[in-house]
Every structure is written in structure tokens, then in C-alpha cells.
């Protein structure tokens, strides 16, 4: 049985994750925390096997030192940590053999799309990305589109990204490759937050077996040699 604490349990992702984890026979949700709770004290007294953090970009800045201090195996689904702080916390976690999975995207479909796009970029020399999201999404281009373009950059230097913000859309991305007499389109459609749950469960199961920091769920799903 994996005893797990969820931090940020009353947010949109936190509530769905809590419900999903409660439905699993190998997890026991032992605490659901909000910003009003004392995370450091909860980790010290309840000693969970795993902490799952689903808070926000501001909160995670103060939460990371508590996670490192606790040495508890942790899955961080929260986005917004800078590359510099990730590098810093990776050093600490690796040195003290703490398992941490930082997974900015739990969607297995998105991760596969990025992997296939990076593969296809070896063979096609032109590509453009079209990402479409609901109107409430403030940032553009999306983090997923920017990351996909970075993963293709070794072979296709400048990948234009087109961002569409429209009512009726959820989260969609096409990577369109142009070739000689042919084109290839990779498409992913996220219909709701349920798409994050299979990957979230994989991360929460895997993390207690880890003794180091892993950035990106893809490195758990298909580790490079």
C-alpha cells in the first residue's frame, strides 16, 4: 500500500487526483492539504511514502525547500519552476538519493506526440505547429508547443507556432511536417483533465522506487540508455 499525501488537494487537478487515487487499491490517501496546512509538519508526523504536489507556480517556490528537507519521494505536477531552480533541486535530491519526478505534463498522448515529432524531424525539414486552446488560456504559445518545437530543433531550426484561442476548444495540437510530395500531421486532442490521470498514477507508483530526480514523465515511460 502506498501512503500518499496530496498538496493542493482542493484545486481542479488536486480534486480529480484525490478521487482517482482513492479508487486505486494500492494507494491510501492519508492527507489532503491546502495552503492553510503546515506541509513540513504533515510530512514529519505522517511520514507518507509519496507526496503529490498540485499547487501553483508561486507556491511551489516555497514548497520545494520543504520537499528537499523532508527527503520524501515526491511527484510534482505543478508547473512554473525555472530551469535554474530545477537544476539546483536536482543536485540536492540526487545527493541525498531522494526520488522526485517533476512532470509538467502527465498526458501520455502529449508525451508520445512530442516523441514522434522529434523522430519525424529527422526525416522532414519543414514543420509548423498549430496549437488551439479555450479562450481562458492566457499564455501563448502553450508550454507544450514550445517544448515540442525545442525537441525538434536539432533537425528543424525554426518551427513556427500558431496559437488559436477560441470558445469550444479544450487543448489541441497539430504538428504538420512538409516533405517532397507528401505531408505528415501528428494531432493530439485533450478533452478533459482525465487525460492526466493515467500518467499521474504511473508517476506516483514509480517514484518510491527512485533514488534520484527525474524531469519529465517521458524519462519514466521510455528511459533513454
Q: Catalogue the active-site residues.
A: 133, 137
Least Å from the CB of residue 120 to ligand NAP: 23
Radius of gyration of the chain (CA): 19
Shorter beta-carbon distance to ligand NAP: residue 48 or 77: 77
Least Å from the CB of residue 96 to ligand NAP: 23
DSSP state, 193?
Answer: G
Shorter beta-carbon distance to ligand NAP: residue 76 or 120: 76
Question: Which residue is closest to ligand NAP by CB?
Answer: 11
Least Å from the CB of residue 55 to ligand NAP: 4
Shorter beta-carbon distance to ligand NAP: residue 78 or 173: 78
The 3-state DSSP class for residue 126 equals strand
Shorter beta-carbon distance to ligand NAP: residue 14 or 99: 14
Least Å from the CB of residue 198 to ligand NAP: 11
Q: Which residues bind ligand NAP (CB under 6 A)?
A: 7-8, 10-14, 33-35, 54-57, 59, 77-80, 103-107, 196
Angle at 20 between CA 80 and CA 94, to 5 degrees: 45
Cα-Cα-Cα-Cα dihedral of 96, 46, 34, 77, to 10°? 40
Dihedral pair phi/psi, residue 220, rounded to 5°? -95, -40
Shorter beta-carbon distance to ligand NAP: residue 6 or 120: 6
Which contacts of 154-157 are long-range, i.e. CB under 8 A and separated by 24 or more positions? 154/118, 154/121, 155/121, 155/122, 155/125, 156/121, 156/124, 156/125, 156/126, 156/127
The 3-state DSSP class for residue 63 equals helix
HSE-CB for 74 with a 13 A CA cutoff: 30
DSSP state, 56?
Answer: -
Least Å from the CB of residue 106 to ligand NAP: 4
8 A C-beta contact, residue 176 and residue 183: yes
Amino acid at each position: 500500500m502506498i501512503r500518499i499525501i496530496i498538496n493542493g488537494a482542493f484545486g481542479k487537478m488536486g480534486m480529480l487526483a484525490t478521487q482517482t487515487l482513492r479508487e486505486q487499491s494500492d494507494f491510501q490517501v492519508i492527507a489532503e492539504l491546502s495552503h492553510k496546512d503546515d506541509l513540513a509538519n504533515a510530512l514529519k508526523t505522517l511520514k507518507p511514502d509519496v507526496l503529490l504536489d498540485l499547487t501553483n507556480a508561486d507556491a511551489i517556490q516555497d514548497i520545494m525547500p520543504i520537499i528537499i528537507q523532508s527527503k520524501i519521494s515526491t511527484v510534482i505536477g505543478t508547473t512554473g519552476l525555472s530551469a535554474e531552480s530545477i537544476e539546483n533541486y536536482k543536485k540536492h535530491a540526487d545527493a541525498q538519493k531522494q526520488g522526485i519526478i517533476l512532470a509538467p505534463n502527465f498526458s501520455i498522448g502529449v508525451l508520445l506526440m512530442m516523441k514522434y515529432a522529434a523522430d519525424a524531424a529527422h526525416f522532414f525539414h519543414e514543420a509548423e505547429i498549430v496549437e488551439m486552446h479555450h479562450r481562458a488560456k492566457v499564455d501563448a504559445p502553450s508550454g507544450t508547443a514550445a517544448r515540442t518545437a525545442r525537441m525538434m530543433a536539432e533537425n528543424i531550426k525554426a518551427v513556427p507556432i500558431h496559437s488559436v484561442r477560441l470558445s469550444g476548444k479544450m487543448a489541441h495540437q497539430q504538428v504538420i511536417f512538409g516533405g517532397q510530395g507528401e505531408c505528415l500531421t501528428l494531432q493530439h486532442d485533450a478533452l478533459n483533465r482525465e487525460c492526466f490521470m493515467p500518467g499521474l498514477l504511473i508517476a506516483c507508483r514509480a517514484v518510491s522506487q527512485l533514488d534520484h530526480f527525474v524531469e519529465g514523465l517521458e524519462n519514466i515511460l521510455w528511459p533513454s540508455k
